[in-house]
Amino acid sequence: MKQKTRGKFTARNSFWGMAGVPLFIIIMFAVLLSGISEATAASPLAYIANGTGNGVTVIDTSTNSIVTPSPIPVGIDPTGVAVSTAGTYANVVGTYVYVANQASDNVSVINTSTNSVVGATISVGLNPFGVAVNSAGTYVYVANVGGNTVSAIDTNAGAVNMTIPVGTYPYGVGINPAGTYVYVANSGDNNVSVINTSTNYAASNSFPPTIPVGTNPYGVAVSHSYAYVTNVTDGTVSVIDTSSNTVVGTPITVGSQPHGVAVNPTGTQVYVTNDGDNTVSIINTLSNTVVGSPVPVGHGPYGISVTSDGAFVYIANEGDSTISVIDTSTDSLSAVIPVSSGAVVFGSFLSVGTFSDVPPSYWAYSYIEAIYKDGITTGCQNGSIYLNCSTDGSDDVPRDQMAAFLIRALYGDNFNCTGLGVGVSGAAVDCSTTTPYFGDVTPATEPTFFPYIQKLYELGITIGCSQSPLLYCPSEVVTRDDMAAYIVRATQVQAGQQSPLPPPTCNAGPCSTTTPYFSDVTPVTEGSLFQDIQKLYELGITTGCPNPSNPSQPIYLSCPTDIVYRDQMAAFLSRAFLGLPK
């Protein structure tokens, strides 16, 4: 790849703002947002279904006060709620709340930027109850208690694209972070259905396989490694290993009639609402045992959610129409919020951003949340921020970080090397123990990114920045032309192509011979990278940005500079590997 000089351009001060949007439009957009309350634009919100009130009450968790106007009118007898932290609805990127209306057999969709219902309700099965959305925000799964089915909603289409038969009386539903499996608690059959989302159906093309659990399973919460299922009649929680989809150990005894269940962000604590004795039990996941005494809450605790920083737990108490708040630093009650219109919510009802510098109003919020949920990024400064993560405090993307982004997009952190070079097969070994390929990348100089760079080279995604000597230039900033090559080659690997990777093929033949899509990208100006930029366009990952001198043909390189920033990278990665639209 071409080597570019590292430097920080004043992109934010140019006429063209992020993603090629004119700065004056960004300013106008900010003015429009100023009419929305601060809580709506940036603060964590709780969306509480009101049951017979046929609405959703919104609570600002920074002040524990109800946001006005509230409640938001939805369908009849709403109960199940799921809040997306990323994704789209009807091809509009944003964050959305999906509300299952039991008595009207449909799902209402709320746009969190306006806290209003968007579009028509989505018809699902009979008596929808539990609802969950995948990490990319592309699919929503709704358990239909009266129909013994699960409706799979394609959020881009805004409609059900498949109805999946499950067990009797399905209530709770949860999805693993990778979005590959959906777990459905069948209360009438004492088991959990496991839906493979690659087909949204069982391999046998009949009922999905099931896992036996306790009596009357109800709530489901899924961490990176385990699914936790409440068993109402037994007063227990079953633990399912999601790598093997088998129950591990014996059920964990909690309180009377457990219903709701939630896992904290680190997966170390599980919180369970005990409807029969008005308490919350806390489970240590390392030992799978209850710790401390149950925490007294309101009457009839039902739904439960944990804030993204794990600091607070919100419990909806159906019996007295209140929300209890537990401070996890003391495991004690810290607040009680009256909800006059009822509190019957069930599911993951908190809308919270993962990073303090990326509020829900930020243009790339959904993309950044998507790559976080998929494990592609963990942010920096102990996961507190995402944007300004470079060593100089900037938000550009050095080449060492780019390697980690790509390898995690392909494999997560579960990958090995051979140590034998580009495309050479051999025994799998830990990449961190292999002999360095690049003279400027060693375990000592790149302790965090060394394994990722080694793997990137073996896959043929990079050949470095210099061939003699072989160098990678890990601190150099990734430019938009380099980024095109990185992503296109990674998609070739994802598609099963082997190293050495062939030149990309476009719709009209070899990409190198196609007519340029961008006025500033030609075979003469970009050399071998021309074909990758052409392919990036055809994959739908970019459309470039407006050309002030020729509106009919966009530009690609100066958007507004040729440097790739972390917010832009999140958008490119989400489109390339997670299926989010532009």
What is the Cα–Cα distance from 154 to 367, expressed in whole angstroms?
18
Consecutive 10-residue runs of the chain (582 residues): their mean pLDDT? 28 27 30 27 76 91 88 96 84 88 97 90 97 90 97 94 95 91 97 90 65 98 94 98 94 98 91 98 96 97 90 95 96 94 89 75 82 86 80 85 96 94 95 98 97 98 96 96 96 94 95 95 94 96 90 86 91 90 73
Quote the tokens at residue 145.
Answer: 């208690």
What is the Cα–Cα distance from 307 to 61, expressed in whole angstroms?
9
Residue with tokens 């100023």: 34
Residue with tokens 């980024």: 483
HEC letters along 227-276 = EEEEECCCCEEEEEECCCCEECCCCEECCCCEEEEEECCCCCEEEEEECC
**Single-letter code of the amino acid located at 522:** T
Which DSSP string do the residues of 326-375 spell out, in sequence order? EETTTTEEEEEEE-TT----EEE-EE--SSTT--TTSTTHHHHHHHHHTT
pLDDT at residue 8 in the model: 26
Residue with tokens 């946001």: 67
What is the Cα–Cα distance from 162 to 580, expressed in whole angstroms?
20
What is the Cα–Cα distance from 505 to 538, expressed in whole angstroms?
10
Per-residue CA distances from 121 to 3, 74, 75, 99, 106 (Å): 52, 9, 8, 10, 6
Count the helices and strands in the chain (H runs, E runs): 9, 39
For the chain, which domains are there?
Answer: 11-29+382-577 (no CATH), 45-351 (2.130.10.10)
| DSSP-based three-state secondary structure for 17 | coil
pTM: 0.66
Listed residue (141, 192, 190) closest to 166, CA to CA: 192
Quote the tokens at residue 428.
Answer: 């799998």
Residue with tokens 């000597």: 469
What is the Cα–Cα distance from 337 to 329, expressed in whole angstroms?
20
- Using an 8 Å Cβ cutoff, are 318 and 300 in contact? yes
pLDDT at residue 70 in the model: 82
Residues belonging to the chain:
582
| DSSP-based three-state secondary structure for 469 | coil
Quote the tokens at residue 487.
Answer: 């992503």
For residue 217, what is the enclosing H or E element? strand 217-222
- Using an 8 Å Cβ cutoff, are 304 and 281 in contact? no
- Using an 8 Å Cβ cutoff, are 514 and 530 in contact? no
pLDDT at residue 206 in the model: 62
- Using an 8 Å Cβ cutoff, are 239 and 288 in contact? yes
Which residues lie across from 306 on neighbouring strands? 313
What is the Cα–Cα distance from 278 to 299, expressed in whole angstroms?
5
What is the Cα–Cα distance from 390 to 396, expressed in whole angstroms?
7
Quote the tokens at residue 497.
Answer: 């192509």
Residue 301 CB partners (closer than 8 Å, separation 6+): 259, 260, 273, 274, 275, 278, 279, 280, 315, 316, 317, 318, 324
What is the Cα–Cα distance from 141 to 172, expressed in whole angstroms?
10
pLDDT at residue 402 in the model: 97
Which residues lie across from 509 on neighbouring strands? 506
- Respond yes or no on whether the N-terminal peptide bond of residue 447 is cis (omega within 30° of 0): no
What is the Cα–Cα distance from 462 to 452, expressed in whole angstroms?
11
- Using an 8 Å Cβ cutoff, are 449 and 401 in contact? yes
What is the Cα–Cα distance from 553 to 548, expressed in whole angstroms?
10
Listed residue (421, 401, 405, 402) closest to 413, CA to CA: 405
Tell how far CA 180 is from the center of its chain.
Answer: 13
Which residues lie across from 270 on neighbouring strands? 263, 283
- Using an 8 Å Cβ cutoff, are 101 and 78 in contact? yes
pLDDT at residue 43 in the model: 54
